[in-house]
Structure formats: C-alpha cells, structure tokens
A and B are shown apart, each in its own frame.
Chain A
Amino acid sequence: MLFNSTTFWVFFAVVGVCFHLAPRRVRNLLLLVASYTFYGFWDWRFLGLIALSTAIDFACGLAVARPSSHRKRWLMVSILTNLGVLGFFKYYGFFADTLQLLALKLGVSLSMPVLEIALPVGISFYTFQSMGYTIDVYRGTAKPVTRFVDLALYVAYFPQLVAGPIERSSRLLPLLMGDKRVDLDKVRRGAWLVVFGLTKKVVLADNMAPVADAVFNAPGPVDGLTTLLGIYAFALQIYGDFSGYTDIARGVSLWLGIDLILNFRRPYFCASPKAFWQRWHISLSQWLRDYLYIPLGGNRGGPIRTQRNLMLTMLLGGLWHGASWMFVIWGGLHGLYLVLYLLASRSLVVRAVRGLAAPVRGLLTVVAGVFWFHLVCLAWVFFRAPDLAAAGRLGRSLLGPLSVSDGDAKTLSLMALCAGPVLLLDYCAEVYERHHPQARDDAFVRALAPPWRGLVFAVLIALLAVAGAPEGAEFIYFQF
C-alpha cells in the first residue's frame, strides 16, 4: 500500500474517521490494528516477525528496567535478537556469498546453504527503532512500557513503519501514550507536508526515475553530458523519493495527532559533509551517532580515533542501506568526505576564509555548495550503479565527449519543469528559516498572505494532476 496510491488514501480515510470517533483509550489499539493491516498489505507472513521482535523487546525492556545484575544480559538478548533477525533476513546471502568468494580465493571450496529469503519491507527501520527502545531503557533515557499495545504501536506505527523516520523511544512513546490532540495547526502542517511530499515523489522522483534508469542501466557507454544529467536525475530522484515519503508520513501522522521527527532539511542546500548529514536522513544520522559513533568513542581520544570512528560509522551506515558492497563503498566515500572535511576545517586556509568579508564568504559558500553537491553525486553513482563495472562505465562515460543531443535538451526541460518548483520552494524555505531559525515545515508558506498561499497549493495540485507519473512507483527506501 503505497502513499501515492488510491488504496492508501481510502485506507487512511477509514482509519482517520475511526480514530477520531473512537474513545481515547482504544485509539492505540485501533492504530495498531491499522498498522498491522497496512503492513499485511505487503506481506502478511512477516507480521509474526514484527510481533515477535516487539514481544522480545517488551520483555527485555521490563527486565532491563528492573535493578538487577542481569540488566546487561537482557540488553544483549534484545540487541542480538534484533541484529540476528536483521542479519538473517537481510545479510545472510551477502555474507554467505562473500565468505564463499574469500574461501575460493584462498583455494578452499566452501559450500554454504542457499536460502531463498524474502526481505521483509522496512526491516532495517523497525529493528533499529525497536532495538533503540531497550537501549534507551537501559540507559535510563526512556521509561519501560507496561502496555504491550503501546510498544507494539511504537514499533509498527504505520506512517513510519516501512521507511522511517527512525524514531527514538524517548520521543515517540510519550506522544503515542499521550492524548494525540489534533489541532488546526497540525491539520495545516499536515496538509502542506502531504501535498509537498506527494509533489516531491510523484512529480520530481517518478519523472526523474526514467532519466536516471536510462543512464544507470545502459548496456554500453553513454555521452558525457547524458551521463552527467542521469546522475543529477538520480540525485534529484532519491531526494524527492525519500524526503517525499517522509513528508507524507509526517503529514498523515500529524492528522492523527503525532508529530514525527524531521528527517530532511533541504540537504542539497549545504556546503559541507557535516552539514549534509545534519540534513539528510536526520533520524538515521542521529541513531548512528548515539548508538554507534558515541559508544565507539566519538570524538574523544584524539583525531585518529575520531577519524576511525567516523569511517566505521559511515561504513556500517552504508551497509545498513543494503546487503551490497556498493552501499559499503558509498558509506566509505561519505566517511572519507567527513574525515577530509574534519582535517580541512582545522587548516589555516579555512581559518583565513572565516576572516574574509561577508560577500566574498557568501560567494565561496556557493562555490563550496556546488562542489559538495558534485561530491554527493559521485557517491550516488556507487549507491545506484548495480555493480562496480557499471560505476566504472559511468565514470568513463563522464570523461567522454560532452556533446549535446536533443534528448539532453529534453531532459533539461523535464528537470526544470519537475525539479524547478520543488527546489524553488525549498530555497524559499531555506532563506526563511535562516532568518527564523525556529521555523519548520510550512512556516514559510504560512508567512505568505492567504491568496499567495493558495496559489502555491494550487500550483502544486495542478503539477500533481498534470506532470504526476501515472502509475504508482515504489519508494526506493522500501528495499532497505
């Protein structure tokens, strides 16, 4: 059941009406049934897996909260169960293949059993969220949940079940257990997030997908400019796809009275890897920071250890995305960017730049932003290319002749039509939030007079109706 499908909106209308009519004490149960129904639409067989994972974490959470010498043991049970489930369903094939390949290189024939395992949708998201709960209880940052329904809803809450944002128990659980009041502000914010999110997905991502696919799936070399446009198209596609999904998730959740965490804050409008990871998939970055980077030692222990921790976090972050070395390379590349940025930010050149006049600094920031965007695009090549050979072919194509074809001109006009309005609104929000640091979501649209606000909505709705890809395409992050 995709957010960009009629089925979902019919489902949501039914859930929404029942939710608002139901007495407050049964609302969580109702949302849990809705969430399991939502997940069951993909594959009901894996509902048992979510329920099992929840039951174990529920028991572990209660055990960990009790003052006893076995607290750590219960925490390990939770972590190992969650990682075990994730490892088995997502990474078994990957590790088996890698082991066999390594053994073969060492001259040993290793025969691992071949298992045809279907990947449960959103497994990486809900296992991280569920595991985060027991860790939080262990650390004392969250209270243990005493009603199973509440924890089950926390793990399976349908707006964010299959592609995040990955919520923290200390934040989401109180909201779920609260009275979930829906006021006018939430309705308005939700409306903006849903309309803008759908535009990002249906107009931007789905129209960029064929352009990117044509380049990334090309069997032979492609012209330099076409390749470059294909890579740009993928950068726009994945942004539209993932941030669009998050926006819709947050929007529908607001209509149910739950304010989910901000997951994207215009990541392409920044000029450094550090800022990028504070704006791209914020919930995952924060999860990795709190549960991996800091436990590894964080930036304590000197520059070398910091760099090592950064690299490890990003490599594992890459692997989290999928069981493929290409994702590991993507993560490693971002780790490298962060390490280099860390080194560069301590250099004399950066200090000298800080002392320059504001207009010069502004210009340099723009140049750095463009440069950084291209580094991100370079990393996307490894994220999207099916294998290293394909990535290498794309690299060679990029170095080829930059001839302009009719197709390139069409691609550019398609990009302008589909990405232009989204990026323009993003830019407006960026400028507005620079002057109003507390502002979020629809604040810049709310600052407009009603006629102009109405015009923005009307343009987005018209774009959805006219330029929206007709068939409902899946969201990229469902596979992770």
Chain B
Amino acid sequence: MRRKIPAWLRTPAWTALWLVLLEATTRAVWQPGVIGEAMYRRVSPSFGYGYDFHRPLCEPRGEELVCIPTQYRPHAPQTLAANKTPDTFRIVTVGGSHAAGHRTMPYTPLALVDLRERCPERHWEAANFGVPGYGSSRILLVGREALELAPDLLVIDFDGSNEYEDSRDLAYREQLHQGIWGALFRSHVVVLGRKFFSAEFSKPAKLHKAPRREEVTLTNEPEVRQRWNADVAANYEELIRLAGERGTQVMFVGLGMRNRRRNAAYEERHQLMLSLAAKHGVHVVDMAKVFQELPAKERIRLFRRDKHHYNIRGHRLVAGEVADAVLELAGEDCGTAM
C-alpha cells in the first residue's frame, strides 16, 4: 500500500529537495568543462578568501595534475605528473605577490626552464601557489595543502609584508564562510554565491580603500610589528615542521630591496628570516644581499613602477639564484646559472 507523506511535511520536504537540487546542479555545473576555464578561474579559491573550499590546489586530469593558477599569472596552467617518478624533483612555491609574480612572469617557472636546460637528465617539476596579498597565516594554509603533493622542495618566499591583509581578510573570510551557523560552510552554493556576490558588490571596494591608511599606521606601530613578526615566525616554523615530517626540504627566498634601512619593517623581517633559517637549518636565497651588491642604478631597473615588486628582469635574477640553490640542494652538478 502506498504511504502518503503527511501534509505538514510536504513543504519542508520539497524545500529540502530543491536545495539539494540547487547544490547538486552547482557542483555539476561548476566545472571547467561546463562553464569554461575563464569563469572557473574567475572566482577561484585564490581570490583572497582562503583555500578551505572544496576545490583542491591541483586536480587530476588523465596523467596530469592540473594546478590552479594564481592571480595575474600570464602563463599557462601549471601541471605536475599524477604519478611522481623517482627521478622527479618537485618544487612548490608559496608566498605573496612576489612569489605570484605580480602582473609578470614569476621566478618559479623561469627557474624551472633554467633547471631543465642545465640539467636535462633530471625530471624537474614546479608549481607556484603564490597569491598576492597573502601573509604567513594563509601561506601556512596553502603550504599545508601544497605539501600533500609530495614536493622535494618547498620554497617559501619570505615577503612577510601581508600580515595586515591576513588578519583583515581572514576575518572577512570567516564572515563569508559562516553560512547559516556554519552548517552550510561547505556548500558550493553558499561559498560560490557569496564569492560572486562580494566580488560584484560593495565589500571588496570597501575593504581595499579605507584600510590602506590603516595598514601604514599599523605598520609604524612597534607593538603591532612585533606581533606580526611573532605570527610570521610561528606560522613558518609550523610549515618547516610539517615539511620535516614529510621529508621535504625547505628554502627561504628573501626579498630583494631597493634600499635597506635600519629598523625598517622589511629589514626586521629579513633578520627574522635569517634567524629562523639558522635555527631550523633552512636554506636561504638571500636576495637582499644579492640586490645590495648591485649598483644602485642597476637595482632600480629590477623593479616595477610601484618600486616594490620585481619586474621581469628582477624575477630573472631571482630565478637564477633559486636555480643555483636548487641544484646545490638536489646534489646536481650541472654548472652555474647565467
């Protein structure tokens, strides 16, 4: 005998069914093959709201792992072999805008080309997960996921200037992802919908305008700087520990600076990097030292107009230094760069 659904249950049942259908449709449609690569990337997990979204850093497609592109990256999607062979040396890079390339080709793919040319007998792979605006807290999140890819070397771009953005955006991300009591935290409808909504409407504009001044003010506060440096140290120490557990080597790439000033925030972080490296035996590519050895006129030519981010010449210089250091680490004797 057919049982009838009680009248009071029909509306909630249909509501739940529609919501499940909406979620299923969103999950089915939100694929690069359906909505196109451009749309798929447009509201990507790298868009400032963290990585705790269902979409992983790299997705298997046939023989390859196709990894998400970072913002502004003008080059093709990065791929890794789905099954890593014993002769493969896999490098993953995490960091902020310097790692991501900030509107130009970053040093990681340039270093990869260099390594492949200089040591063709070894299979080199590299993936760059640098995201502009990410500080150590979010880099730790990305790094944790990147270590799942079993890299031989984790390159941490020691920018360390995005701690303000981290605290601001992580707080915002919590709001964004809270859904209804956090129950819908993992819903594609909620997360994607909110990302579209906040990307389209007022929130990002509001976030980027006023707090800029606030960031400068806070950076000049010794107490705040001390707290941020403590965060950077704690987050990177955790990342070093995780890498150590997996047998992955770690390399810090320091920030090349136009001018080094005593007691400046960047100089403080540079010293922090050196002390952390010494404490944990981490390899360092000291770009501050490399840049300082160059004539002042030559140094200026390595930066974009913002006088902070490298241009392609700057990235080439970093790539060469990184390639040298990687070869040394990998125990390969293939000659020196450039």
Binding site for B on A (CB under 8 A): 6, 184, 187-188, 207, 210-211, 410, 413-414, 450-451, 453-455, 457-459, 461-462, 464-467, 470-471
Tell me whether B193 and A461 are in contact (CB under 8 A): no
Taken residue by residue from 14 to 30, chain B's Cβ proximity to chain A (1 for < 8 Å, 0 otherwise) reads as 11111100100000000
User: Complex Cα distance A453/B9, Å?
Assistant: 12
Does B193 contact A454, Cβ atoms closer than 8 Å? no
A23 to B102: give the CA distance in the assembly, Å. Answer: 68
Q: Are B11 and A454 in contact (CB under 8 A)?
A: yes
24 A-B pairs whose Cβ atoms sit less than 8 Å apart in the complex = A210-B202, A210-B206, A410-B201, A414-B201, A414-B202, A450-B10, A450-B13, A450-B14, A454-B11, A454-B14, A454-B16, A454-B17, A454-B18, A455-B18, A457-B14, A458-B15, A459-B18, A462-B22, A464-B180, A465-B193, A465-B194, A467-B193, A470-B175, A471-B175
Given contacts A450-B10, A470-B178, whether A461 and B200 have CB atoms under 8 Å apart is: no
Cβ-defined contact, B18 with A465, below 8 A: no
With contacts A184-B8, A462-B22 taken as known, whether A454 is within 8 angstroms of B180 at the C-beta atoms is no
For the complex formed, measure the closest distance between the CB of A34 and the CB atoms of chain B, giving whole angstroms: 21
Tell me, rounded to whole Å, the shortest Cβ–Cβ distance linking A215 to chain B. Answer: 13
CA distance A410 to B179 in the complex (A): 24
Interface centre among A187, A210, A454, A457 (most CB of B within 10 A): A454
Taking the nearest CB of chain A, how far is it from the CB of B281, in angstroms?
Answer: 43
Partner of B181, one of A6, A457, A470: A6
Q: Which stretch (B113-121, B182-190, B299-307) binds chain A?
A: B182-190
Q: Are B14 and A453 in contact (CB under 8 A)?
A: yes
Least Cβ distance of A184 to chain B in Å?
5
Q: How far is the CA of A176 from the CA of B209 in the complex (A)?
A: 52
Q: Which of B13, B175, B189 contacts A462 (CB 8 A)?
A: B189
Residue from B8, B14, B187, B193 within 8 A of A451 (CB atoms) = B14
Would you call B189 and A466 a contact (CB within 8 A)?
Answer: yes
Given the interface contacts A184-B8, A462-B19, A465-B193, does A455 sit within 8 Å of B14 by beta carbon?
Answer: yes
- Interface residue B176 (Cβ < 8 Å from any Cβ of A): yes
A470 to B11, CA, bound (A): 27
Which residues of B148-207 have CB atoms within 8 Å of chain A's CB atoms? Answer: 175-176, 178-181, 184, 187, 189-190, 193-194, 197, 200-202, 206
What chain B residues lie within 8 Å of A188 (beta carbons)? Answer: 8, 11
Residue among A184, A211, A451 with max Cβ neighbours from chain B (10 Å): A451
Q: Which residue of chain B lies nearest to A456 when distances are taken between CB atoms in the complex?
A: B15
CA distance A471 to B180 in the complex (A): 12
Chain A hits for B10, CB < 8 A: 450, 454
Give the CA-CA distance A471 to B174 in the complex, in Å: 11
Chain B residues whose CB sits within 8 angstroms of the CB of A410 once the complex forms = 200-201
8 A-B pairs closest in CB distance = A454-B14, A466-B193, A458-B18, A470-B175, A450-B10, A457-B15, A454-B15, A465-B190
Q: Which residues of B contact A210 (CB under 8 A)?
A: 202, 206
Which residues of B have CB within 8 Å of A467? 193, 197
Interchain nearest-CB distance for B206 vs A (Å): 8
**What count of chain B residues pass the 8 Å CB interface test?**
30
B22–A465 contact, CB under 8 A? no
Q: Which residue of B lies closest to A465 (CB)?
A: B190
Q: Most B CB atoms within 10 A — which of A188, A455, A459, A470?
A: A470
How many whole Å from B329's CB to the nearest CB in chain A? 45
Q: Closest CB-CB distance, B246 to chain A, in whole Å?
A: 36
Q: Which residues of A contact B202 (CB under 8 A)?
A: 210-211, 414
The smallest C-beta distance from B269 to any residue of chain A, in angstroms, reads 32
Are A465 and B181 touching (Cβ within 8 A)? no
A413-B13 in contact (CB<8A): no
Smallest beta-carbon distance A450→chain B, Å: 4
Determine whether the beta carbon of A457 is less than 8 Å from that of B11. yes
B201 neighbours in A (Cβ, 8 Å)? 207, 410, 414
Contact A465–B11 (Cβ < 8 Å) = no
Residues of B within 8 A of A211 (CB): 202
Give chain B residues whose Cβ lies under 8 Å from the Cβ of A453. 11, 14
Chain A residue nearest to B203 in the complex (CB): A470
Docked pose: A211 CA to B190 CA in angstroms: 23
Given contacts A414-B202, A459-B18, A462-B193, 6 further A-B contacts (CB under 8 A): A188-B11, A410-B200, A454-B10, A454-B16, A464-B180, A465-B193
B25 → chain A closest CB, angstroms: 11
By beta carbon, the residue of chain A nearest B19 is A458
Whether A461 and B19, one on each chain, are in contact in the complex, defined by CB atoms closer than 8 angstroms, is yes
Q: Which chain B residues border A187 with CB–CB below 8 Å?
A: 8
Using CB atoms, name the residue of chain B closest to A414.
Answer: B201
**Residues on A with beta carbons closer than 8 Å to the beta carbon of B184:** 465
Cβ contacts under 8 Å, B22 to chain A: 458, 462
Q: In the complex, what residues of A have CB within 8 A of residue B179's CB? A: 465
Q: Which residues of chain B have C-beta atoms less than 8 A from A413's C-beta? A: 200
A contact residues around B15 at 8 Å (CB): 454-455, 457-458, 461
A478 to B149, CA, bound (A): 54
Question: In the assembly, what is the distance between CA of A6 and CA of B197, in Å?
Answer: 22
Q: How far is the CA of A191 from the CA of B178 in the complex (A)?
A: 22
| Residue in A closest to B6 when the chains form the complex, CB atoms | A184
Give the complex CA separation of A446 and B167 in angstroms: 47
What distance in Å separates the Cβ of A193 from its nearest Cβ neighbour in chain B? Answer: 14
Give A378 to B182 CA distance when docked, in angstroms.
41
Contacts of A414 in B (CB 8 A): 200-202
Whole-angstrom CA separation of A254 from B8 in the bound complex? 16
Cβ-defined contact, B189 with A465, below 8 A: yes
CB-contact partner of B13 in A6, A454, A470, under 8 A:
A454
B13 to chain A minimum Cβ distance, whole angstroms, is: 7
